[in-house]
Structure 1
């Protein structure tokens, strides 16, 4: 286990890390392009301004980490966890996220438009002011997510779990929903369906 290590400005591109543990490590402005992680854990680590472009992550956990202006272009995340992690001013274009837990993640104001986030766990995530326009959220769990002013226009929400607050606060014009969500939407807005 590595605790409190300083990797700031380090050049670690194309490194391969298997089952390594990092606690409160600083990866700020590090060159991590093409990094491969498998089964690694990162607790309270700082990735501010790091370059994680074209990196690949399998079954790795990033718990309570900070991604501030981090480069994520063309990165792949499969079976990962971002429990309590915050993302600030990160670009998510061409990012692939599969079977991943983003519970309690801070994604306020994030531009997540047209991404495939289907089946992801976003329970109690902060998505305030996030742009999820035309995003695929089929089967995603958004229970307890903060969705005030989140843009979900044209998003695919079929099979997604949303609570009444999310259905009232998000901008949902043109979103595709299933019958169960339509009933929940009506109830959240005080309508009585007979």
Structure 2
């Protein structure tokens, strides 16, 4: 489990980019590392194979942008807006999100292991077939949302709200029923058996 904070006093950057306008641009050729992006506008931008490593994005606008097989490795996102963003087969391993908005965000495939999404509001996000191993989802809000086929093995889910959430096909083996809200969540028979066993029940066919 990652314990990296969203911001640390020791953070250092090799470059700083302030108020850059990437509106509608194709940024597939971008390769940045240890860069601070402040007030970046990436609205309606598209990327394929872009790479960002150990970068920090403060108040960035990703609205309506589309990203295919791009990588944001060990990055920090503070106060960013991801309205109607599509991430397909992208990699966010080790990245941390703080006070970000995920309205109508689409995340399909890719690797989001070890991400920090404490308290994130993912109610309107559509998350499918994503690897989120050992992610920190403490206090996450997914009520009424969709997290199907997600690998949540080893993830921290304490105090998470999954009321009415579609969790079918997801690995929820680390869920402790007494520490999360699961009322009306949609799950499969196999998942139901696993939750019952986690509660100490003995499940028999007859």
Give me the TM-score of the superposition, normalised by structure 2: 0.87
Extract structure 1 runs of 4+ deviating beyond 6 A: none
Structure 1 residues 165, 72: CA separation in 2 closer, same or farther (over 3 Å shift)?
A: closer
1:65 matches 2:101: no
Q: In structure 2, what is the Cα distance between the partners aligned to 1:180 and 1:46? A: 40
Contact 2:45–2:64 (CA under 8 A) maintained in structure 1? yes
Unaligned segments of structure 1, at least 5 residues: none
- 1:165 to partner: Cα distance: 4.2
Q: In structure 2, what is the Cα distance between the partners aligned to 1:10 and 1:19? A: 16
Answer with 100-109 or 155-164: which moved more: 155-164
Q: In structure 2, what is the Cα distance between the partners aligned to 1:18 and 1:191? A: 51
Q: From 131, 139, 143, give the equivalent of 2:149.
A: 139
Q: From 146, 153, 156, give the equivalent of 2:166.
A: 156
1:52 matches 2:33: no
- 1:62 to partner: Cα distance: 0.3
Contact 1:164–1:184 (CA under 8 A) maintained in structure 2? no
> Which digits, 9 at most, give the CA deviation of each residue in 1:148-186, with x for residues without a partner?
010001111221111244445321111111111111111
Q: Give aligned pairs, total.
A: 192
1:121 matches 2:121: no
Answer with 92-101 or 127-136: which moved more: 92-101
Give me the TM-score of the superposition, normalised by structure 1: 0.92
Higher strand share: 2
Unaligned segments of structure 2, at least 5 residues: 1-12
Across the aligned residues of Structure 1 and Structure 2, the Cα RMSD in angstroms comes to 1.6
Q: In structure 2, what is the Cα distance between the partners aligned to 1:74 and 1:159? A: 24
